[in-house]
Amino acid sequence: MAFYSFRFEPGDRILIGRAEYASNWIALRQVANRTGAVIEIVPDDEHGQLDVHALEAMLDGRVKLVSLVHVPTQGGLVNPAEAVGRVTRAAGVPLLLDACQSVGQLPLDVTSLGCDILSATGRKFLRAPRGTGFLYVRRELIEELEPPFLDMHSAEWVAGGAYRMRADARRFENWETYVAGKIGLGVAADYALELGVAEIRDRDRALAERLRELLAAVPGVTLRDQGATKGAIVTFTVDGREPRAVQAALAAERINVSTTSTQSARLDLEERGIDELIRASVHYFNTDEEIERLVETVAA
Ligand SMILES: Cc1ncc(COP(=O)(O)O)c(C=O)c1O
């Protein structure tokens, strides 16, 4: 809703990271096709994360938006969002941060992140019901953005046939909404805050590092995570085995992992020559024994 609220013109530049997620890319492409805006990819640095200096060099008066995936679906990378935010803020260019994979995994502070828009889902590390999520828009930007859909919740029908949009972020909401899901989202957020998001980050990071360390020692296993700072998503491939076959073999032992294919992140995975990878997302409730059992099962 926030992205579709921008009014792009032919030649406007939209800068994105290589980790961009399929759904975001499709929306970006659709809007660029309609408006004549141009999408440009900021290269990665030597760690495989967005190169902040390259971004800085690309910024000029025609850049209307920077879109960054904080933590991608396809790996342990944690993009340097704060450094990106410092650069975009200095240039006065809005930063749209996709925090779907980082919310519930990492502490998020929109002020220190320097983002103008943050979108998050409930269903991942926050452990909220599916079909929930939330949006943050910096107050000063709200009034510049007219959402593509308006109704009597986001706007008001005033005398004379006109309408007036709400001045707050509820202008991006609809009248009708998934109330039970929202209550679940609130409970999940309270639950994460009670545990402590910094504690969750530390615990997740320790589990993920242990998993990477053990997997790295298994012959035939290649770790695929990138970034100077890594999070809770551990990705790998096994020589001579299809990722889905490894997933099925693990599922038979009641170990849940998933797979990610190029279709979710073409810019990144095609560049790295990866068709599909195995994705083990650890979280605070996992135990060392579970990590060891996963690795033993992969080795077997
Ligand atoms: C980086 C990223 N953004 C957005 C989403 C979409 O989340 P949802 O489908 O819950 O809106 C995903 C889902 O995998 C994701 O990995």
Domain boundaries, the chain: 3-194, 199-299
Residue nearest to atom 12 of ligand 1 (CA): 100
Amino acid of residue 102: S
The tens digit of pLDDT for each residue in 11-39 reads: 999 999 999 999 999 999 999 999 999 99
Average pLDDT (208-224) is 98
Q: Name 198's Cβ contacts closer than 8 Å, sequence gap at least 6.
A: 107
- Position 10 scores a pLDDT of 98
Q: Which CATH entry fits the domain spanning 199-299: 3.90.1150.10, 3.40.190.10, 3.40.50.300, 3.40.1550.10?
A: 3.90.1150.10
- Position 58 scores a pLDDT of 98
Which of the four pLDDT bands, split at 50, 70 and 90, describes residue 257? very high
Determine phi and psi for 258, rounding to 5 degrees: -125, 180
- Position 156 scores a pLDDT of 98
CA distance 140 to 87: 18
Residue nearest to atom 8 of ligand 1 (CA): 121
Q: Is the CB of 260 under 6 A from ligand 1?
A: no
Q: Is the CB of 225 under 6 A from ligand 1?
A: no
The tens digit of pLDDT for each residue in 32-58 reads: 999 999 999 999 999 999 999 999 999
Q: Is the CB of 20 under 6 A from ligand 1?
A: no
CB-count burial class (<10 Å; 0-12, 13-18, 19+) for 271: middle
Which of the four pLDDT bands, split at 50, 70 and 90, describes residue 208? very high
CA distance 272 to 83: 24
Which of the four pLDDT bands, split at 50, 70 and 90, describes residue 247? very high
Residue 257 and residue 278 in contact, taking contact as beta carbons nearer than 8 Å? yes
**Global confidence as pTM:** 0.97
CA distance 42 to 58: 8
Quick check: do 3-194 and 199-299 share a fold? no
CA distance 295 to 257: 12
Fold of the domain spanning 3-194: Aspartate Aminotransferase; domain 2 (3.40.640)
Residue nearest to atom 5 of ligand 1 (CA): 100
